Chain A
Amino acid sequence: MIEVKNLTKQYGAKRAVDDLSFTVNDGEILGFLGPNGAGKSTMMNMLTGYISSTDGQALINGIDILENPTEAKKNIGYLPEIPPLYLDMTVGDYLSFIYDLKKCRLPKKAHIEDVCKLVMITDVYDRIIKHLSKGYKQRVGLAQALIGNPPILILDEPTVGLDPKQILEIRNLIKKLGKRHTVILSSHILSEIQAVCDRIVIINKGKIAADDTPENLTAKLSDEHKLIARIDGSRDEVLKVISSIGGVVSVTADMEREPGTFDYEIEAEEGRDIRRELFKRIAARNWTILMLKTTELTLEDIFLKITMGSDITIGGSKKKAAAVSEDDAKAMHEAVDQAVIAAQAVEMSKKLAAGTEAEEEYDGGEM
């Protein structure tokens, strides 16, 4: 169990982490989500005792990390952003060093073998770390955190730099670990957090912007009544017709998708279903609805809304994103691009996993 109370880190004039408080219960997988520079790594470095906090307190299983660091650190396995590997050692030597360093009391050889099997690095056991691929290095880093079976695992972007197949493997591994360990992991990839975590803490500019389960976060923010319709026909006329439907609050036309066809985003009054009415009106004009769907807020949207300087407060009933500045808008587009890439990676990995299910084990021949 981890209790964080009013934790603050000040770097000169900059507050990297600003008055954070939260609790992680035993057996929970908590995801830290935030844009780059939000204070995720600083937070984790404070929890693991690598850096001190300026103010506040972090209790690891009830032990203060600053007052009794040695005892508190015994409970933690930490994978920093850059895995702390001694490049000139072999994987086996390195893990054996970590074992000695952590003063473990488990049967040494068997334990190291177990950990290697768990993160699938048995085949590189005798290789020098320097010569391993990024994916393997990341997994050796993970193995290092797992040595000694610490009850708490803190993983800083555990899947960064891995290929889609490896991402899936590590993700499954973390899920499996979550059954026996308390896990905190950070990421800026939302699909990952959504897939793995029981609870999400979104931090932005050093502060907690949201703290809830993925389902609740989506549910709380998705009470908007938007439709997206793809309709062929002259844009201006279609716009006129749609806005004349009773209950339509606003309608905007998107870019031309197919020749002579536009996408329209239609917002209706709360609790009002305008789909039938829309169909009738469009059909009456002899136009065709090529696509009609309701917009569901994805975690991506929520994340962007929360982190892009909007005035949303989670748990309130009516939310409206504030206007974003030009810079924010640009950043938002970039973030969306990233999210799309991430989503594609997930898709791809699913396909890959399905395709290679028959193969017994990952051979690692691409090193």
Chain B
Amino acid sequence: MGAIFKREMKAYFTSPIAYIFIAVFYVYTGINFVGTNIYGATTDLTYIFSAVFTLMMIMLPLLTMRLMSEEKKQKTDQCLLTAPVNLAEIVMGKFFAALCVFLIGMAIYIPYVLVLFKLSGSIEWPIVIGNMCALLLLGASFISIGMFVSSLTENQIVSAIASFIFIMLLYMIDVLASSITVEWIRNAMVSIGFYNRYYEFTNGIINIPSVVFFISAIFIFNFLTVRVLEKRRWGE
């Protein structure tokens, strides 16, 4: 796993993709931070955390698009799959590399929080901690979804667009649910929606079922990616 993690990290930082991702992340959150918290003179962090959801929807597919599809296209998967490593190690190595780049982006919230703490002297720590957890869980589940989609295609662009649509649907489900009148369908839709669960966290509520929900999503999609690799081995 270590070897694959290291190689993926190197690949992220030898291509412009990691730099672009981090830069966009910093600029977008920076504008929100200055606009809302500095000019608005508030220590309420809810907005700058909840606004980042849309950005992650667009940016994380860019981070995951090449993870599996490029291996397949360049036939380098032949080298991974004939090496003495198991499939889970390959998938986890790639997952953690993408997560790591995401965490570097996310780390920008630490200076924001510290600046606010310095300026105001008081900060709502539950909200900060809740948001950090939420970002981590949401990012990780988007990455595992993106990687799963990437394992289905050889084309990076298809991979990026398809994962964007996939994530978009998960986001839309909450919106669509409110217009459904059949109660059990609505409940089912609400329970798989991502946004409401994320929104809870941004208000500082760490809801255990939601934590379990995100962790299960991460686990399921990583597992599916392993299955896709396995299936390809068995052919038809």
A interface residues with partner B (beta carbon < 8 Å): 9, 11-12, 45, 48-52, 69-71, 73-74, 76, 78, 80, 82, 84-89, 93, 97-98, 100-103, 144
Q: Which 7 A-B pairs have the closest CB atoms?
A: A100-B3, A84-B79, A73-B84, A101-B3, A48-B82, A74-B84, A84-B76
Stretch of B10-18, B26-34, B169-177 that contacts chain A: B10-18
> In the bound complex, do residue A78 and residue B236 qualify as a contact, i.e. CB atoms below 8 Å apart?
no
> B118 within 8 Å of A by Cβ?
no
Main secondary structure of the interface of B (DSSP, over half): helix
A-B contacts, 17 listed (Cβ < 8 Å): A45-B78, A51-B235, A52-B234, A69-B84, A70-B85, A78-B78, A78-B79, A84-B80, A85-B76, A86-B7, A89-B10, A89-B14, A97-B7, A101-B3, A101-B79, A101-B83, A101-B85
Contact of A86 with B85 in the complex, beta carbons under 8 Å: no
What's the least CB distance linking B79 to chain A, in Å?
4
Given A73-B83, A100-B2, A101-B80: A11 touches B10 (CB 8 Å cut-off): no
In the bound complex, residues from chain B placing their C-beta under 8 Å from that of A9 are 235
Q: Are B84 and A103 in contact (CB-based, < 8 A)? A: yes
What residues of A have a CB within 8 angstroms of the CB of B7 in the complex? 86, 89, 97
With a cutoff of 8 Å between Cβ atoms, the chain A residues found around residue B6 in the complex are 97, 100
Q: Which B residues are within 8 Å of any A CB, using their own CB?
A: 2-4, 6-7, 10-11, 14-15, 74-86, 233-236
Q: Please, how many angstroms separate the alpha-carbon atoms of A12 and B10 in the complex?
A: 40
Min distance, Cβ A50 to any Cβ of chain B, angstroms? 5
Residues of chain B with a CB closer than 8 A to A80's CB? 75, 78-79, 82
How far, in Å, is A242 (CB) from chain B's closest CB?
57
Residues of B close to A103: CB separation below 8 A: 3, 84-85
Report the separation of the CA atoms of residues A144 and B75 in the bound assembly, to the nearest whole angstrom: 14
Nearest Cβ in chain B — how far from A259, in angstroms?
Answer: 54
B83 / chain A contacts, CB cutoff of 8 Å: 73, 98, 101-102
Known: A70-B84, A80-B78, A89-B10. A101 touches B4 (CB 8 A): yes
The residue in chain B whose Cβ has the minimal distance to the Cβ of A74 is B84
